[in-house]
Amino acid sequence: MVDSVQQTPRAHTYPFVPYTPARVPIEDGLRRGEEFYRHLDQRRSVRWFSPDPVPLAAIEIAVRAANTAPSGAHHQPWTFVATSDPAIKSRVRAAAEAEERTFYHDRDLPAWHSALAPLETDEHKEFLDVAPWLVVAFAQKHTRLPDGIVRKNYYVTESVGIACGFFIAALHSMGLATLTHTPNPMSFLSEVFDRPSAERPFILFPVGYPADNCEVPDLTRKPLPEALIVR
Ligand code: IYR
């Protein structure tokens, strides 16, 4: 056991500012948390998109939300690259489908292929043309600062993963759908989007509204006792 008295911050060398959000009474907190969970529970990964346009403002809001993620040493080691250019989208589709043809037909991965069977995915990635936006999250192993100094980043995968989670949640809050698409390998995205070698493509997100006749696999979430163990 440690002392159960409120902690007091110590004197600082670097700038600190007060962080004193109004205390939310726990009844309100639980109600809000429950609503937030129910909202997130409505989210599904979508592979059938409407071509209806989505304003750039929605992508900007989602990336602002991603940008609030915690990150190793606060280095924020991500770049989101967005395009609605049909020519670029179809280049991405062609390259992704070439990778996926190999994945589905030329690689001996029986366990992986059978794990994917319930999703009924295949090498056809029409959504890469149809969704009004493609957004690629890139993970920065190093970041070149404006003064030219190259800074190493820490916990890059964790940091960018959390940022992508915020991005997905923000899109969902706007009624938009996406998919965490990861054609394998994804290095073609660095060429298409002309990104530096210290950045690796992390997730390719088609973004838009679900098609009117969209369907998703009939999946359920794992029960809480499998996700949470209290000791
Ligand atoms: N990249 C392929 C295969 C694929 C892999 C996983 I893991 C998925 O959850 C879904 C698909 C594709 O996109 O079809």
DSSP 210: B
Distance 122 CA to ligand 1 centre (A): 8
Query: Which domains are assigned to the chain?
Result: 45-210 (3.40.109.10)
Residue at 189: amino acid letter: L
Tell me the three state secondary structure of residue 58: helix
Q: What is the pLDDT of residue 209?
A: 98
Q: What is the pLDDT of residue 143?
A: 87
Q: Give the phi and the psi of residue 204 in degrees, each rounded to 5.
A: -105, 120
Residue at 25: amino acid letter: P
The protein residue with its alpha carbon nearest to ligand 1, atom 2, reads 183
Identify whether the C-beta of residue 185 lies closer than 8 Å to the C-beta of residue 99. Answer: yes
- β-pairing, 133-140 vs 78-83, is antiparallel
| 57-89 residue pLDDT tens | 999 999 999 999 999 999 999 999 999 999 999
Distance 72 CA to ligand 1 centre (A): 28
Q: What is the pTM of this model?
A: 0.96
Ligand 1 mutation target, pool 119, 134, 178, 205, most atoms within 8 A of CB:
119
Residues with CB under 6 A from ligand 1: 100, 103, 116, 119, 121, 181-184
Identify whether the C-beta of residue 78 lies closer than 8 Å to the C-beta of residue 66. Answer: yes
The protein residue with its alpha carbon nearest to ligand 1, atom 8, reads 116
Distance 209 CA to ligand 1 centre (A): 21
Mean per-residue pLDDT of the chain: 97
Lowest mean pLDDT among 2-6, 56-60, 89-93: 2-6
| 193-229 residue pLDDT tens | 999 999 999 999 999 999 999 999 999 999 999 999 9
| 102-137 residue pLDDT tens | 999 999 999 999 999 999 999 999 999 999 999 999
Identify whether the C-beta of residue 181 lies closer than 8 Å to the C-beta of residue 203. Answer: yes
* Strand partners for 135: 82, 205
